[in-house]
Structure 1
Amino acid sequence: MLGPMELEFSGEVWHWRGPSPYHFVTVPPPHAAELEAVKRLVTYGWGMIPVAARIGGTPFTTSLFAKDGGFVLPVKDAVRVREGIEVGDTVEVHLTVEGPRPRR
């Protein structure tokens, strides 16, 4: 990966009710495979991949979580409120994964 990786996809917003409830969108398998191929170059640990994301007109930064052999995008409450997103809504997502992170 020489420069930023750009991914666009749509997905359904779902709610995880665990000890720290949060909303997510699952990255589709073809894009998850692309991310898996560059994960070791961009992760900061635990398989987390930092991204710049945009849903609708709202940009935000977060990290993709590895889950069930793929990845999920956490959707911040501020983004959901601003965009009027509810659980079960299908949203269009734009992700940017930056190039290799410097080794320490």
Structure 2
Amino acid sequence: MTGDETFTLTATVWLWRSAGKERPMAWHFLTIDGQTSAEIRYAALGRTGGFGSIPVEVRIGTTCWRTSIFPHRDSGGYILPLKASVRKREGIAAGDEVSLSLAI
């Protein structure tokens, strides 16, 4: 991983579904909260993008990719979207606990 600061954590995958009747959509996320989110907030000062996003590099198992985390009003932390390709490669489903490394 190539970021200035790396954080290691475990979080539970949760599913968000749109309310659309024609074509409902679903997205998988991990919530980063508590002390880890406070440390990330401090480490990312001056490096946020649109909507308060923070560019990150993530590793779950053998899969590494670049994405962004986004502020999460409900938890006061951040949410990390999980791409379908990552979930398939690592065998991840909603409700699973996942260990990951996240570099800013």
What's the TM-score bracket when you normalise by the shorter of the two chains? 0.7 to 0.9
Q: Which runs of 4+ in 1 moved over 6 A?
A: none
TM normalised by structure 1 equals: 0.84
Unpaired segments ≥5 residues, structure 2:
none
**Aligned equivalent of 2:26:** 21
Distance 2:59 2:32 in 1: 14
Q: CA deviation at 1:41?
A: 1.4
TM normalised by structure 2 equals: 0.84
Is 1:57 aligned to 2:68, yes or no? no
The question of whether the paired residues in 1 share the 8 Å contact of 2:5 and 2:43 is answered with no
Distance 2:33 2:10 in 1: 8
| Count of aligned residue pairs for this structure pair | 95
What percentage of residue pairs aligned between the two structures are identical?
40
Unpaired segments ≥5 residues, structure 1:
98-104
Letter in 1 for 2:85: A
The question of whether the paired residues in 2 share the 8 Å contact of 1:12 and 1:25 is answered with yes
The question of whether the paired residues in 2 share the 8 Å contact of 1:52 and 1:61 is answered with yes
Letter in 2 for 1:75: L
- Please, what is the CA RMSD of the aligned residues? 1.5
Specify the SS of the correspondent of 1:72. Answer: strand
